[in-house]
Amino acid sequence: MPLALLLCLLACGAAGAAATARPCASPYSGSSAYPFCDASLSIPARARALVSLLTLDEKIAQLSNTAGGVPRLGIPPYQWWSESLHGLADNGPGVNFSSGPVRAATTFPQVILSTAAFNRSLWRAVAEAVATEALGMHNAGQAGLTYWAPNINIFRDPRWGRGQETSGEDPAVAAAYSLEYVKGFQGEQGEEGRIRLSACCKHYTAYDMEKWEGFSRYTFNAKVNAQDLEDTYQPPFKTCIQEARASCLMCAYNQVNGVPMCANKDLLQKTRDEWGFQGYITSDCDAVAIIHENQTYTKSDEDSIAIVLKAGMDINCGSFLVRHTKSAVEKGKVQEQDIDRALFNLFSVQLRLGIFDKPNNNQWSTQLGPNNVCTKEHRELAAEAVRQGAVLLKNDHSFLPLKRSEVRHVAIIGPSANDVYAMGGDYTGVACNPTTFLKGIQAYATQTTFAAGCKDVSCNSTELFGEAIAAAKRADIVVVVAGLNLTEEREDFDRVSLLLPGKQMSLIHAVASVAKKPLVLVLLGGGPVDVSFAKQDPRIASILWLGYPGEVGGQVLPEILFGEYNPGGKLAMTWYPESFTAIPMTDMNMRADPSRGYPGRTYRFYTGDVVYGFGYGLSYSKYSYSILSAPKKITMSRSSVLDIISRKPSYIRRDGLDFVKTEDIASCEALAFSVHVAVSNHGSMDGSHAVLLFARSKSSVPGFPIKQLVGFERVHTAAGSASNVEISVDPCKHMSAANPEGKRVLLLGDHVLTVGDEEFELFIEL
């Protein structure tokens, strides 16, 4: 082992070695003469050259997230697993806060809250900031370069414990978020696809359940029809790979239609053959081991290894492949070329990251350090993400904003009001300087009284109600912080009920009954909560949803309550009533089926009652909309379909309805159009809010969405003024839906665009 590498391993550990030991960086390393170090060669040529130098044992040692080093070539060990969902997190071993100069990183709001801002530039800015901190920690020897985020699964069921990590229930929004996150995090790809960091689209695919009534994510068989797979579950992954060019894909634990995802050759190869994926595929942790041990899909461990490698998986999170691949080779179940294929993908990504090269060959290698972590700029960006994502659900008689001159004493009630742990959500690291809600309110009120009301969020006792009631009686204004935390929803733990946990509802009623004025209810958590009682109760004036706001939640809450910021976020998830829990969580069907009393899922297909709908959100201002310009007719010229007329019908008439398969449209780009919307602010406060544009067909076609989001923009409008916003629409992508065979179809005829109460009709024809 070269002396420099040995010293680095002793000083830095595996992650540090990945950060500083570069086998091609020095002529004294003993490896610079090898072809894989020749920067004049293409990355594929270098990757193949490196694979050719390894023995079988050395190759097998690379098949784990904790990849073994190759001392004779100067190649250090490497840790593939780091986490960066909404800030750097030490859930994986690649990020280390316990030793080194960096002991914390900015905790941005959980993804479901940032999504509610509906602001692409904000999403990208947050990803860029997280990337900056990742590189700063990497250069300090405390983090790797490969990160397993974002989570782009669809928030299909409101009980899902990990829905908080996602960008909600709409596949178009999830796709848009994945595009901004990956491009912001990896950086614009340079020559030969060089990237500063690697982002990973997970969990592929149809993964959205942890534990429910005896079902487990480790063994669950998601039965998904072709229609739902095409227009709900797959679009975020297609965009993440095809447009964002993510360099990693994670296959999920679950089966899809009877086949474990990490062994699903059809779906894994689709990403490369049809979507152009160029990167590595990792399993979720121990997802290969469970194929035989838990799912009994194969007859042996060796069979499991053979089936995943031949399906296209490249690396296993865990040690299973390292322990059993040699046996699989010896038994003839795995050929060395199967391993070589996987290593080619792994080394190609490492070469794109510049891991083996001289620092000056990688523009991001030495520019950043500990001083770029926990900066004032990143904290302000985190605060802006919370401000823009916060959703005002109720505000009777314009109770908010409060006037500081009229509020002397505030009682803030609820165990989460003085608990920084409640603010982070899943995959949270060590926050830089977290601010509780109590501390934030104290900066605004002359007197502040805190009462927990419940011992914890589970709230199984009324023992502390008395203290809360007494505080409420004395205060001018009462703020109750209720909702969820990670004891109620998290990885490997789904909710059973949509009601507030334990006796939280009773606490709210008790406090509201004695308060001098109607109270303000602040809701935390990623999953929807049935707060129908609060929606209807006049003693509850306002409801504000803050998701998991991260380290700056305590700072932002009083800014909103006292009118320094005008909320304008919109829900990215339908809030269902408690009755929805009668629907089996295992039913993957999106479309409603009246014949069996099934109401469907998400705003696109759900036919039941809601507490709050997707896209709902109030403001301190009242906005109105006017569509200034949009095409009244979209015509696919004869030349667009001329090449297919001779061999098959360009459109099909079924039950009197015309439609065109999008794959038969020669130029979808030619159909794209813009909608110009005037936004008027009728309030007395300037405001920024999300403008959502929906479309629906006037034809009632079974299986087609009730409506669907076709575009969105964040717009700032001054009080008493109007502003114009342009929203781009891609009909092939956003106005189409899948037919029962899983083919994208664009309906011809009359369609309606809607924004707020404004409607605009357009006609699509051949």
Where in the sequence numbering do the catalytic residues fall? 284
Q: CA separation (Å) from 627 to 117, 151, 652, 680, 761?
A: 22, 35, 32, 12, 11
Locate 19 and state its tokens. 């950060």
d(CA 170, CA 97) in angstroms, rounded, equals 35
Concatenating the DSSP letter of every residue in 656-686 gives TEEEEEGGG-S-SGGG-EEEEEEEEE-SSS-
Helix (H, G, I), strand (E, B) or coil at 394: strand
Locate 561 and state its tokens. 């309550």
Could you give phi then psi for residue 732, rounded to 5 degrees? -60, -40
DSSP run (H or E) holding 202: strand 200-204
Locate all alpha helices (DSSP H) within 89-196, ordered by sequence: 111-115, 120-139, 171-186
- Pairing between strand 215-216 and 259-260? unpaired
| N residues, the chain | 766
- Pairing between strand 633-635 and 652-654? unpaired
Chain position carrying tokens 């006796």: 503
DSSP state of 500: P
DSSP state of 312: T
Could you give phi then psi for residue 201, rounded to 5 degrees? -80, 125
Q: Which residues of 577-588 are buried (b: 16+ CB within 10 A; e: fewer)?
A: beebbebebeeb
d(CA 180, CA 332) in angstroms, rounded, equals 44
Chain position carrying tokens 């998701």: 547
Q: Tell me the CB-side half-sphere exposure of residue 91, using CA atoms within 13 A.
A: 17
Cβ neighbours of residue 429 closer than 8 Å, sequence gap 6 or more:
83, 87, 88, 89, 90, 95, 97, 104, 105, 107
* 505 burial via Cβ count (<10 Å: 0-12, 13-18, 19+): middle
DSSP state of 11: H
d(CA 655, CA 433) in angstroms, rounded, equals 62
Q: Which of 149, 113, 116, 118 has the alpha carbon at shortest distance from 131? A: 149
Could you give phi then psi for residue 119, rounded to 5 degrees? -135, 105
Locate 179 and state its tokens. 């595009």
Helix (H, G, I), strand (E, B) or coil at 737: strand
Query: Taking the C-alpha atoms of 468, 472, 475 and 481 in order, what is their torsion angle to the nearest 10 degrees?
Result: 70
d(CA 763, CA 761) in angstroms, rounded, equals 7
